[in-house]
Structure 1
Amino acid sequence: MPVLPAHHSNHSKILTRRHVHACVHPTRTRVCVCVNSLSPRRSSSSSSSSEEEEEEHVDDSVSLAQYDSTSPLTRFVVSALTTAIGGDAHGDEVGLAQKEDDLRPPVSPQDVRNAIERDFCEGNYLWTGDISMDVYDKGCVFTDPTLSFTGTAAFQRNLERLEPWIEKLVVDPRSELRGPVVLDDSQAFCEARWQMIGELRLPWRPVVNVKGRTRYTLDTSKGGRIVRYDENWELKASEALMQLVTPTTKASV
């Protein structure tokens, strides 16, 4: 989800604030770039070093913006904006929806990983919200540095409210994986590193440019599906919000 949370899909949508949590119909967006994750492997010894040069170095020292580290004021502003457009900043009691999950066949950790990668590389989901709902528990908790809410139904509602605004405001949205989606050895979670960029159709032409990391927590008692979606950004939430009012410069892209 960087600043106004949102996601969209013909059959599923999710609030992905990313920031402008923006939603654009999949047919109107650019397919994301997957770094190394789906590209053929070269077999020579020199190819190994070339791939290492292509894949972005993981800097674990980068301080990540998380929900708990975001100021109450910033969270209030995003929550108020979400509510103002008719969205849901808090989510649902899951109830009956959870019973529907009990009827769905379980999914394997590899299925979940592949679905996440497909959502990035075919759905451009950071902008479109086009996610594979079959690998998400209906009571999944979605959290980014500005919002935290419960339920895929709330995710869909937020996207439905945001979609018209995103389609009008976001120009040339694009996203990319900064390496393959990683399934932990314990198979308890997957992690993805990504970057999303998009220009807003406003007089000062602001650019949303956010790098982040998302952890998808799996639960075998919930059919192996994703029960937590935790998105962190490599910049403060307040800095992401400021991108909305900052005129375009060469440094913005």
Structure 2
Amino acid sequence: MDPRPYFLTGAMDVALYDEQCEFADPFVAFRGRDRFVANLENLAGGFITESSTRTLSSEIERGDAAAGVPPSYKTKLLVKLRLGLPWSPVLAWPWGVEHVFDPATGLVVRHLESWDVSPQEGIRQLVSPGAGRKVK
């Protein structure tokens, strides 16, 4: 099994996700596991040409059924990516994912991504030439 994160390989354990799971990041939100799988396949198809990831933290929230708070799992990674665009931009920032589970089925019903960077900084990195910048 490839040890790299799902957003680099395009491979995810589909059976862990509800078919109508909500997927959201700072720029877009949608429902549907199949659409997320298709998006991952596009990323892994060469859009990311070089990468480096390091785990910063992870935590389990057990939830509180009586209070209506579902269980979740949160991870935070330091991610550096070189994109396969003509100017080879390098994106680098802490990136988090929260997986929220349905207590009845055990399936992920919300996949929420967060980036510890302002939208302006993210766009600046996206449009800046990355030649000569190290990723690893």
Q: Deviations over 1:63-84 (max 9, x none)?
A: xxxxxxxxxxxxxxxxxxxxxx
Pair 1:139-2:8 in alignment: no
Bigger radius of gyration: 1
Select which of 49, 56, 71 maps to 1:178: 56
- Runs of at least 5 residues in structure 2 that lack an aligned partner in the other structure: 64-69
| CA deviations over 1:126-156 (Å, ceiling 9, x no partner) | 3223222221111110000001010111112
The reply on whether 1:196 has 2:79 as its aligned counterpart is: yes
Q: How far 1:194 sits from its partner (Å)?
A: 0.9
Partner amino acid, structure 2, of 1:148: A
Distance 1:200 1:182, change over 3 A: same
Aligned Cα RMSD in Å? Answer: 2.6
In structure 1, C-alpha distance between the alignment counterparts of 2:41 and 2:84, rounded to whole Å = 20
Residue 213 of structure 1 corresponds to 96
Task: Report 1:1-253 matches (<5 A).
Answer: 122-164=3-45, 167=46, 169-179=47-57, 181-186=58-63, 188-221=71-104, 223-248=105-130
Aligned residues with identical type, % of pairs: 26
Q: Which has the higher contact order (CA 8 A, sep 6+)?
A: 1
Whichever residue aligns with residue 124 of structure 1, its letter is P
The answer to whether the Cα contact below 8 Å between 1:177 and 1:195 also exists between their aligned partners in 2 is yes
Task: Give the structure with the larger helix fraction.
Answer: 1
Provide the rounded CA distance (Å) in 2 between the counterparts of 1:239 and 1:125. Answer: 24
Task: Note if contact 1:209-1:252 (Cα within 8 Å) is conserved in structure 2.
Answer: no
What secondary structure sits across from 2:40 in the alignment?
Answer: helix
Contact 1:192–1:214 (Cα < 8 Å) also in 2:
yes
| Partner of residue 67, structure 2 | none
TM (normalized to structure 1)? 0.45
> Which one has the bigger strand percentage?
2
> Structure 1's 206 and 137: CA in aligned 2 closer, same or farther, altered over 3 A?
same
Cα distance in 1 between the residues matched to 2:82 and 2:53:
12
Alignment gaps of 5+ in structure 1: 1-25, 32-121
Distance change (3 Å), C-alpha of 1:247 and 1:209: same
C-alpha displacement at 1:251, in angstroms? Answer: 8.0
TM normalised by structure 2 equals: 0.77
